[in-house]
């Protein structure tokens, strides 16, 4: 019986020879893809703090006293996730947090649609009120659901080439 997870080839760095399993390369693509999404989103929001506040307020979900702090922290939180994902550091944790954040975004957009609000999601900057026919809720929910699935995959298979976790021998990741 092999002690290699799921019967795949040995993971380089664990002292055994062998090729990298294909899923590790897929994990790399997913990890970097999510990093681009969070980096782009965070930078767009950080570059327009007033617009981010307008977008957060437009959802009408938070008490007014929390709108400013959430709008101020969210871009930097997304940038932090992007940096962890680019580095491949604490990948499983970053993936789980990414999945939770995507679930929250999906819930927010679905809530706006269910309540008949006409807003732009503000996901990549901008946001706020739009004309009733200009909402794209279905597209935004589907897009975020794809990102959620990517994050779930990465939480399941966090080990990937070119990652700090791999370089430092993060045992929790290598067990994946």
Query: How does residue 169 score in pLDDT terms, banded at 50, 70 and 90?
Result: confident
Query: Taking the model in full, what pTM does it have?
Result: 0.84
Domain ranges of the chain: 20-174
pLDDT value at residue 74? 98
Determine the Cα angle at 101 with ends 97 and 107, to 5°: 145
Enter the tokens of residue 3: 């002690």
Q: Stretch 13-36: mean pLDDT, rounded?
A: 80
> What pLDDT, in 10s, does the model give residues 69-92?
999 999 999 999 999 999 999 999
pLDDT value at residue 28? 96
Q: Are the C-beta atoms of residues 176 and 159 closer than 8 Å to each other?
A: yes
DSSP 19: P
Per-residue b/e over 11-21, b at no fewer than 16 CB within 10 Å? beeeeeeeebb
Query: How does residue 35 score in pLDDT terms, banded at 50, 70 and 90?
Result: very high
| Whether pLDDT at 144 is above 70 | yes
């Amino acid at each position: 019986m092999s002690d290699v997870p799921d019967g795949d080839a040995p993971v380089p760095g664990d002292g055994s020879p062998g090729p990298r399993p294909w899923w590790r390369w897929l994990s790399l693509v997913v990890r970097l893809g999510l990093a681009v999404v969070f980096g782009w989103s965070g930078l767009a929001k950080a570059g327009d703090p007033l617009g981010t506040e307008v977008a957060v307020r437009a959802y009408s979900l938070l008490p007014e006293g929390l709108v400013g702090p959430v709008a101020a922290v969210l871009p930097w939180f997304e940038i932090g996730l992007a940096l962890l994902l680019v580095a491949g550091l604490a990948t499983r944790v970053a993936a789980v947090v990414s999945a939770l954040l995507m679930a929250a975004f999906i819930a927010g957009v679905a809530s706006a649609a269910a309540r008949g609000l006409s807003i732009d999601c503000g996901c990549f900057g901008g946001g706020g009120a739009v004309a009733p026919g200009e909402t794209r809720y279905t597209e935004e929910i589907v897009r975020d659901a794809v990102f959620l699935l990517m994050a779930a995959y990465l939480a399941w298979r966090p080990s990937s080439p070119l990652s700090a976790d791999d370089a430092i021998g993060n045992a929790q990741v290598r067990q994946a």
